Amino acid sequence: MKFPSPLIRGRLMKRYKRFLADVELESGEIITAHVANPGSMMGLKDAGMTVWLSPANNPKRKLQYSWELVAADDALVGINTAHPNGIVAEAIENGEVAALAGYDTLTREVKYGANSRIDMLLSGGGKPDCYVEVKNVTLMRGGAIAEFPDSVTARGTKHLQELQNMVAEGNRAVMFYLVQRTDCTAFRLAADIDPAYATAFHLAEDAGVEILCYDCHITTSEIRLGSPIPINP
C-alpha cells in the first residue's frame, strides 16, 4: 500500500478523545489530526514523539490530516487501523501469503455470524470457504515481541468466537495478526491486559482456527506485508 500523497512530518503534542491528536508541523503550525485507532496506543502517544500525517486532499473534510506513522523505540509504527485489511488483501492477491493461496475470489466485508462482518472471505479453487479476520498489532513492551491487544477488546473476543463457529460449520477460519512495527521478531498475547481475549484465543485455536502473524515493511512512502514471525501465545 503506497500513500497517495507525501506524508507530512510533525511533533505530537497530545492525543485526546481517542480519535483526535494535536500536532505541531515543521512549519510551526499546530493542527488537529484524525486518529484512526480505537485502541490505547500504549507507548505510541507521548508528547514530543515524531509523527507523520497524510493530507486529506479534500477541502470539505473537517480534519485535513490523518495520523499515519510514529517513531517509537527506534522503529516506525503504523497506527492507522484503516490500512491493515487492504495491506493483507493486497498481499493475498499477489500470492504473498502461502497459507491463503489458491482461492479464486477475495471478498471484503462480508456479513457472517451473529450480526458481524468478516474482513475477508476467500472462496473457490475447490477449497472450503476461508474466513479471515485481521488485527492491527502495534504494542511492544520489550524483547522485540509484539503483543495484542493493547486494551480490553470485547469485540475482538467475539470475533474469535465467531471464527470458531465457522470452523464448526466446516469452513476454514484464520486470525491474521499484522504487526505494523519494524522492530518485532515474535508475537504473543497480552493476556495481562485482556485475560478474556487470551482465553478465547486458546479455545479458538484448539477448535481449529488457524493463526497467522506477519510483520510489515514500513517507510514514509508505503506499508507492505513482510514475513511471518513466530507466535508465542
The candidate with the shortest Cα–Cα distance to 90, out of 226, 225, 232, 230, is 225
Q: What is the mean pLDDT of each run of 10 residues along the chain (233 residues)?
A: 96 96 97 95 97 91 95 95 97 97 97 89 96 97 96 95 96 98 97 98 98 98 97 84
Residue 124's region, left for phi above 0, alpha for psi from -120 to 50, else beta, is left
Domain ranges for the chain, please list them. 8-72, 84-228
pLDDT for the residue numbered 190: 97
Residue 93: predicted pLDDT: 97
Chain centroid to CA 155: how far? Answer: 14
Q: What is the pLDDT of residue 116?
A: 87
Question: What sign results for the dihedral spanned by CA atoms 39, 44, 45, 50?
Answer: negative
Domain 8-72 matching CATH 3.30.420.40: the answer reads no
Residue 159: predicted pLDDT: 95
The whole-number pLDDT of residue 77 equals: 98
The three grid cell numbers given for residue 176, joined into one nine-digit string:
491474521
Residue 150, C-beta contacts closer than 8 angstroms, at least 6 positions apart: 39, 40, 41, 42, 138, 139, 190, 193
Paired sense of beta strands 186-189 and 145-148, if any: parallel
Give me the pLDDT at residue 60, please. Answer: 84
SS3 of residue 202 by DSSP = helix
Closest to 122 (Cα-Cα) out of 103, 109, 135 = 103
Residue 59 is predicted with a pLDDT of 81
Q: 142: which residues sit within 8 A by CB, 6+ positions away?
A: none
CB atoms within 10 A of CB 181: 21
Query: 8-72 with 84-228: one CATH topology?
Result: no
Which pTM does this prediction carry?
Answer: 0.95
In CATH, what is the architecture of 84-228? 3-Layer(aba) Sandwich (3.40)
